[in-house]
Structure 1
Amino acid sequence: MAGVFNTFLLTGMLLCGVLLQTLSQNRARVDKRPNFIIILADDIGWGDLDTNQVDRKANNTPYLNLMAEQGLRLTDFHSPASTCSPSRAAILTGRYGLRNGVTHNFAVRSVAGLPLSEVTMPRLLQQSGYYTAMIGKWHLGHNGPYSPTNRGFDDYLGIPYSNDMGCTDKPGYNFPQCLPCDSSVPQVIRFKRRIHEGCYSSVGLPLFENSSIVEQPLDLWTLTERYTSAATRIIHNARERGQPYLLYMALAHMHVPLAPPVPPDARRTGDGSVYGASLREMDSLVGAVKSASDDVDQNNTLIWFTGDNGPWEKKCQYAGSVGPFVGKWQTSRGGGSAKRTTWEGGHRVPTVAYWPGKIPANTTNSALLRFITDSTVAWTFFQLFCLWQEFHLPQTDTTTALTPQTSSCVANRPVMSFSSTRTAALQGHLVTCRRFEQGSTKHSTSQVQLSHVAVQQARSSSMTRH
């Protein structure tokens, strides 16, 4: 039975794609299909969300706090990798980097990107009649067929890679601080010798609209406003078309260089006011998107906020907080627990899900959840779509958490990106069972020993290509 269930999960994305296509041919049976908004923050720390650290009494994320009060806060949610490109590739394909081929970040001069053989979530939704749009950082290949509009998005506005991978005329806050582009050269691409380690200074940072560069170098200080306007326009246009939509927003926040409105002496004082101001700017953007969505189609839209990986602690006062997950063992030896590590602070990220009428309000879930394998966001969206359209599919731990009505048991299968999880899976051989009560934030947890045969089956299925 377990083998059959695992096989179904591994082929879930393809199955749902078929079901979605079938559904698109029989729309008369369906009153309305749901909209999906994914908001992915960059380099955000678990402790950056106010409600994750209430003892700090900060007020940097009031709109996200409200969204958590009106929806669900996941306190033990993990990104699929602790760096940008691998995490994003996994989110859009539902497959780890060792399977989808993206194990390192793409560079400014990278020729290729996410392998063209990979099927993406927006592509499947697009084929089923959804309008699909992306705003923000792509970082999965920016040349030819690897660009967003060739991977399932109808429209795109954003930066092809990280916002520090190019120079600007007015640099944001960074550590070490980078110099502006060489304005004496009139060309769009402005060449300048490398200033110091950590600064990309040979190419002006471009802003793309679909496949065309509309500004280079772009103005970091107006980027949030442009993203907000584009998002609200997409949401309202979707209503006018009467078409369900996917909006994927991969924000520049909280990746350096930060460019929020701050007091003139903020950088000099180094008191965290720059980072706090950037958090508040990001939060305001999220609030604007939520407000537009609520005005247009509140009860028919799932909004999912999360992060691609933990904070970049090497950026000192311009980096976020991992919360309590500092890792005494590694920090005592001069290491860290954040971005670029497989320690918990590198991939445990703040996560909030909001869907009035579908997700119970003011709930918190501490279940261990992941983007990939049993709990992929891509799989979750497909499954939720099929589930609420009366296709009866087996629930994963994520959908159980979103609509807590039953108990769920999820085997701790080997996770290639997380060394700590892999060790626990291979040595512990445990199944974690959680039971949720309808309308309650309480849950009980127990662990049972798996048989040797079941462990071997879990190992084998986890290595199967899916």
Structure 2
Amino acid sequence: MGWLFLKVLLAGMTFSGLLYPLLDLSISGKTRAPKPNIVIILADDMGWGDLGANWAETKDTTNLDKMASEGMRFVDFHAAASTCSPSRASLLTGRLGLRNGVTHNFAVTSVGGLPLNETTLAEVLQQAGYVTAMIGKWHLGHHGSYHPNFRGFDYYFGIPYSHDMGCTDTPGYNYPPCPACPQSDGLWRNPERDCYTDVALPLYENLNIVEQPVNLSGLARKYLEKAVAFIEQASTSGRPFLLYMGLAHMHVPLSVTPPLENPGSQRPYRASLQEMDSLVGQIKDKVDHMAKENTLLWITGDNGPWAQKCELAGSVGPFFGLWQTHQGGSSAKQTTWEGGHRVPALAYWPGRVPANATSTALLRYCSIPTVELLESMGACRLSAWTITRPSTLLGEPKLVMGARVLSNSTLPLSFSTWKTMLQKLRPYREEAPSTRRCCQRSPGFLQMSFKTLLMTTAPERTTLRTLR
């Protein structure tokens, strides 16, 4: 009789759900897929037209073009802002500057940074068991608790702000020219204040300054070495990892290793772009070697090129905004015109991200409902890409609906929204470049961050911020 009662009790507990947690624990180790690794590479001041896969006139991004043919290229991808700090703050928090409090660039003299009540992607992934690293330009506060090591990154190697915000021992190419740090002990001021010669640019490893002033010509090589070492160590440890790289390319002053013997015979920007392309290619090769099937590799830009730097600035492709430049303005960095925030973007993840695909979707792409599901990530929902088509890397651009797109593109631009942050107030009307008139399109800042990768597309939308 006692055994019969026990059987009934166990059956009742099972059907009431009390044993479900125990059952889940017993099978979770067998059913859950490993957590994906995430590599984010953020280029600095890279124009939409600097990517050869976007713009046929560019011939200097062989590795990036190959990555585009093996992954997905987003041709209508927009940064959250057209300048450094606000764009980077939005990428790491998933919130626009008006919400996260970062609306301007931080300076050398800034004592604050990304507000401490903001949760970063690195902090969330740390709690999920990830090992995290930030390599490169931070520019979200460099004092006290604003340092990357206190914002979710286990390891940090890089510079605290832009490399034109401090003198270096090898200034690189810049307009006006950046002088090297003074060799004497006396204080030397640059009256134009363009290169911030009062302070030598520091290079940090975690909380320690390991070099000051920075050897700018060797900085890219050091970034590459640290990134490769981190990928190797993290992969060997068996833990999932987040690597966030803020490249010095393509911000001025431009550096090329080794320096050009005759800058007049070769455009410094082109040589620097080739160097960046090689760096990204080597990181991709390391990812392919260590964890190809389980790593999302993403590369994009923080904003458009710095047009005031003339031939030392990148290409905006077709988004050159003659309607504004005729009035003395600029279509690129630091403006709300499209060339300032429309940036190249590539996603690479064999077996998860479709190969040789181009998407005109503005915001929708591979998404995961909640951070808990990182432990059981399956294939990305392809329905997230509402408009995809085979990539045409070699196609010549032509005018379609007022914008230069690839030769077999017959679909209109697809605009979607996240949290209704973008409204199309007027239809976009633009004539051919030779007869272009005033643009009727209302540009808007969009939030595009890797927290969007961890959002659901239907029906309940759970962002990482709700998991704080």
Q: TM-score, normalised by structure 1?
A: 0.76
Alignment equivalent of 1:263, drawn from 260, 264, 281: 260
2:62 counterpart letter in structure 1? P
1:123 and 1:388, CA in 2 relative to 1: closer, same or farther beyond 3 A?
A: closer
Q: Distance in 2 between matches of 1:299 and 1:335?
A: 46
2:246 matched residue in structure 1: 250
Q: Secondary structure at the match of 1:279?
A: helix
1:64 and 1:409, CA in 2 relative to 1: closer, same or farther beyond 3 A?
A: closer
Over residues 97-149 of structure 1, what are the superposed CA-to-partner deviations in whole Å (9 max), with x where a residue is unaligned? 00000000000011110000000000000011000001000000000100001
Pairing 1:301-450 to 2, within 5 Å after superposition? 301-369=295-363, 380=367, 386=373, 389=376, 410-411=416-417, 415=421, 421-422=422-423, 424-425=424-425
Pairing 1:1-400 to 2, within 5 Å after superposition? 29-54=31-56, 56=57, 58-185=58-185, 191-260=187-256, 261-266=258-263, 269=264, 273-369=267-363, 380=367, 386=373, 389=376
Q: Secondary structure at the match of 2:42?
A: strand
Q: Tell me by how many angstroms 1:26 deviates.
A: 5.7
1:111 and 1:387, CA in 2 relative to 1: closer, same or farther beyond 3 A?
A: closer
- Cα contact 1:62–1:283 (8 A) shared by 2: yes
1:411 and 1:286, CA in 2 relative to 1: closer, same or farther beyond 3 A?
A: closer
Q: Distance in 2 between matches of 1:154 and 1:48?
A: 32
- Cα contact 1:40–1:305 (8 A) shared by 2: yes
Q: Tell me by how many angstroms 1:191 deviates.
A: 3.4
1:326 and 1:409, CA in 2 relative to 1: closer, same or farther beyond 3 A?
A: closer
2:224 counterpart letter in structure 1? T
1:253 counterpart letter in structure 2? H
1:390 and 1:306, CA in 2 relative to 1: closer, same or farther beyond 3 A?
A: closer
Q: Distance in 2 between matches of 1:26 and 1:135?
A: 34
Over residues 354-390 of structure 1, what are the superposed CA-to-partner deviations in whole Å (9 max), with x where a residue is unaligned? 0000111111111223xxxx77x9xx57759837826
1:98 and 1:272, CA in 2 relative to 1: closer, same or farther beyond 3 A?
A: farther
Q: Distance in 1 between matches of 2:55 and 2:40?
A: 23
- Cα contact 1:194–1:200 (8 A) shared by 2: yes
Long gaps (5+) in structure 1 = 1-21, 416-420, 429-460
Q: Distance in 2 between matches of 1:120 and 1:382?
A: 17
Aligned length: 382
Q: Distance in 2 between matches of 1:48 and 1:392?
A: 31
Q: Tell me by how many angstroms 1:169 deviates.
A: 1.8
Q: Distance in 1 between matches of 2:75 and 2:415?
A: 18
- Cα contact 2:74–2:346 (8 A) shared by 1: yes
Q: Secondary structure at the match of 1:36?
A: strand
Over residues 275-328 of structure 1, what are the superposed CA-to-partner deviations in whole Å (9 max), with x where a residue is unaligned? 001001101110010000000010110000000000000111110000000112
2:199 counterpart letter in structure 1? V
2:197 counterpart letter in structure 1? S
- Cα contact 1:360–1:403 (8 A) shared by 2: no
Q: Distance in 2 between matches of 1:321 and 1:295?
A: 32
1:401 and 1:225, CA in 2 relative to 1: closer, same or farther beyond 3 A?
A: farther
The structure in which a higher percent of residues are helix is: 1
Decide which moves more: 158-167 or 325-334. Answer: 325-334
2:260 counterpart letter in structure 1? P
Over residues 127-186 of structure 1, what are the superposed CA-to-partner deviations in whole Å (9 max), with x where a residue is unaligned? 11000001000000000100001000000000000010000122111000011111112x
- Cα contact 2:75–2:345 (8 A) shared by 1: yes
Over residues 224-270 of structure 1, what are the superposed CA-to-partner deviations in whole Å (9 max), with x where a residue is unaligned? 1101111111111012101110000010000011111343221xx2x
Q: Secondary structure at the match of 1:73?
A: strand
- Cα contact 1:74–1:367 (8 A) shared by 2: yes
Q: Tell me by how many angstroms 1:414 deviates.
A: 5.2
Q: Distance in 1 between matches of 2:347 and 2:375?
A: 16
Q: Secondary structure at the match of 2:376?
A: coil
1:287 and 1:409, CA in 2 relative to 1: closer, same or farther beyond 3 A?
A: closer
Q: Secondary structure at the match of 1:122?
A: helix
Q: Distance in 1 between matches of 2:183 and 2:342?
A: 41
- Cα contact 1:386–1:392 (8 A) shared by 2: no
Whose radius of gyration is greater, 1 or 2? 2
1:272 and 1:97, CA in 2 relative to 1: closer, same or farther beyond 3 A?
A: farther
1:13 matched residue in structure 2: none
1:174 and 1:339, CA in 2 relative to 1: closer, same or farther beyond 3 A?
A: same
Q: TM-score, normalised by structure 2?
A: 0.76
Long gaps (5+) in structure 2 = 1-23, 391-413, 428-460
- Cα contact 1:359–1:402 (8 A) shared by 2: no
Q: Distance in 1 between matches of 2:135 and 2:37?
A: 16
Q: Tell me by how many angstroms 1:37 deviates.
A: 0.3
Question: Percent of counterpart pairs with the same letter?
Answer: 53
1:38 counterpart letter in structure 2? I
- Cα contact 2:360–2:388 (8 A) shared by 1: no
Decide which moves more: 329-338 or 127-136. Answer: 329-338
2:373 counterpart letter in structure 1? C
Over residues 83-110 of structure 1, what are the superposed CA-to-partner deviations in whole Å (9 max), with x where a residue is unaligned? 0000000000000000000000000011
Q: Secondary structure at the match of 1:246?
A: strand
Q: Distance in 2 between matches of 1:402 and 1:192?
A: 55
Q: Secondary structure at the match of 1:52?
A: coil
1:401 and 1:118, CA in 2 relative to 1: closer, same or farther beyond 3 A?
A: farther
2:175 counterpart letter in structure 1? F
1:42 counterpart letter in structure 2? D
Q: Distance in 2 between matches of 1:228 and 1:199?
A: 25
